[in-house]
């Protein structure tokens, strides 16, 4: 990634002019980007992200009243084959061979060992037992396709009125989505207050929208107690609410009532649009789905900048119009459709005027060919 950026900066005249580099001046080597990222603390990247939010706020592209929270997966730069047992230090293959030998299976036969591993009872790769020495922060989990990999879980909190990313977090791959939900909402609220220049503690968030994985009853109680509505569906279809404590039952009922309301349905549609779009741009189009970095802090630094770039693109589209080829085509299609409608209207008006002129000319010809009508008209005019 860094090599591509450095080569692009050196090759493009427009980028050279933007970076204030002369044509004969050498651009920085790609390794300097890595060195700078490792030397600067997380607070610097956090300040850059907040600065972009302040620019969005000045352009009235940041509200912070209705927020959507969602989580995706990010594949770490670590292999399952490199796992090591936390107690014995064995690799996974050595561990399976030892178990196969103890069970009477020929440990020198790879096929027999693989068959034993697939059929042995209690076969499960747990993060409590296994770690990757190359990236200890990466955790074992399942990606979007159900494949077990070494993962991180990026989390976005998105403004449902503008689509801007209010806050991001990089969770371990085995952490539940609803963990620390209340703290994450309060942190996003404080970040918006900082961008707006308000004092800390200002109650700004009105609604929080999430999917099934964020239905944690204690968190719902805390948010609703703080005056925040929650539109989060219940993952248990036949839950016996009578067995729940009064505060949790009331919080669950209020959440489902908000979810089924007209406003709640509209916010859920926006969540599906803006939240998924943010992951699509940052992870897929931005190339962050498979990271080449290692370590939670190192990956989080780059991810903060990538999320800030998405917010910056929203600001630039607002200031300069369409920013991508597809958006230009969409705008051109709208203009072309308007022109077609205008041409059809003009053609219709011309056709109606032509019809009226033809009728008028026809009547004039009839009058000119009839002397009696002409004389009668002339006599009446003289009189």
Q: What is the DSSP string of 106-151?
A: -TT-HHHHHHHHHHSTT----TTTEE-SS-TT-EEEE-TTS-EEEE
Is residue 134 situated within a structural domain?
no
Q: Are residues 166 and 277 in the same domain?
A: yes
Q: Do 185 and 305 fall within a single domain?
A: yes
> Residue 89 falls within a domain, yes or no?
yes
Within-domain flag for 257:
yes
What is the reported pLDDT for 187?
A: 94
Residue range 297-313: mean pLDDT, rounded: 93
User: Structural domain tally of the chain?
Assistant: 4
What is the model's pLDDT at position 62? 92
Q: Do residues 65 and 190 share a domain?
A: yes
Same domain, 111 and 247: no
Distant-in-sequence, close-in-space partners of 359: CB < 8 Å, separation ≥ 6: none
Same domain for 185 and 144, yes or no, is yes
The pTM assigned to this predicted structure is 0.76
Per the prediction, the chain carries an average pLDDT of: 86
The pLDDT, as a whole number, for residue 326 is 64
Per-residue model confidence (pLDDT) at position 279: 94
Same domain for 47 and 33: no
264: in domain: yes
Residues 74, 218 share a domain: yes
What is the spatial distance between Cα 46 and Cα 112, in angstroms, rounded to a whole number?
52
Report whether pLDDT(342) > 50. Answer: yes
367 part of a folded domain? yes
Identify the domain containing residue 117 by its residue range.
84-124
Please check whether residue 348 lies inside any domain of the structure: yes
Q: Does residue 375 belong to any structural domain of this protein?
A: yes
- Residue 380 pLDDT > 50, yes or no? no
DSSP at 383: -
Are residues 164 and 306 both part of a single domain?
A: yes
> Is a pLDDT exceeding 60 seen at residue 338?
yes
Listed in sequence order, the residues at least 6 apart from 371 whose beta carbon sits closer than 8 Å to its beta carbon are none
Task: Count Cβ atoms below 10 Å from residue 254 Cβ, excluding itself.
Answer: 16
Is residue 356, in this structure, part of any structural domain at all?
A: yes
With a cut of 90, say whether residue 170 has pLDDT above it.
yes
């Amino acid at each position: 990634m860094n090599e591509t950026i450095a080569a692009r900066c050196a090759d493009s005249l427009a980028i050279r002019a933007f970076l204030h580099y002369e044509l004969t001046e050498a651009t920085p080597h790609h390794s300097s980007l890595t060195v700078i990222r490792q030397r600067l603390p997380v607070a610097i990247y956090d300040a850059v992200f907040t600065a972009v939010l302040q620019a969005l706020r000045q352009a009235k592209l940041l509200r912070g009243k209705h927020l959507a929270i969602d989580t995706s997966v990010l594949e770490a730069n670590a292999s399952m084959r490199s796992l090591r047992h936390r107690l014995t230090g064995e690799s996974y293959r050595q561990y399976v061979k030892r178990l196969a030998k103890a069970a009477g299976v020929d440990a020198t036969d790879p096929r027999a060992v693989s068959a034993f591993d697939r059929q042995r009872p209690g076969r499960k790769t747990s993060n409590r037992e296994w770690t990757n020495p190359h990236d200890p922060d990466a955790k074992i989990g399942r990606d979007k396709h159900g494949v077990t990999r070494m993962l991180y879980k990026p989390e976005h909190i998105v403004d449902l009125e503008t689509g801007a990313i209010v806050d991001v977090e990089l969770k371990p791959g085995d952490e539940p989505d609803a963990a620390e939900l209340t703290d994450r909402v309060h942190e996003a609220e404080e970040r918006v207050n900082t961008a707006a220049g308000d004092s800390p503690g200002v109650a700004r968030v009105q609604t929080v929208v999430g999917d099934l994985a964020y239905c944690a009853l204690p968190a719902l109680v805390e948010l609703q107690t703080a005056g925040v509505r929650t539109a989060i569906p219940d993952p248990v279809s036949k839950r016996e609410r009578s067995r729940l404590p009064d505060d949790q039952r009331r919080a669950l009922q209020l959440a489902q009532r908000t979810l089924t309301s007209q406003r709640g349905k509209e916010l859920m549609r926006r969540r599906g649009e803006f939240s998924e779009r943010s992951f699509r741009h940052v992870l897929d189009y931005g190339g962050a789905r498979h990271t080449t970095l290692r370590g939670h802090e190192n990956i989080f630094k780059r991810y903060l900048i990538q999320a800030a770039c998405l917010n910056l693109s929203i600001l630039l589209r607002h200031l300069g119009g369409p920013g991508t080829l597809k958006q230009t085509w969409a705008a051109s299609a709208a203009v072309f459709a308007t022109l077609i409608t205008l041409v059809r209207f003009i053609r219709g008006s011309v056709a109606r005027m032509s019809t009226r002129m033809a009728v008028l000319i026809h009547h004039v010809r009839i009058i000119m060919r009839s002397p009696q009508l002409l004389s009668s008209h002339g006599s009446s005019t003289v009189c």
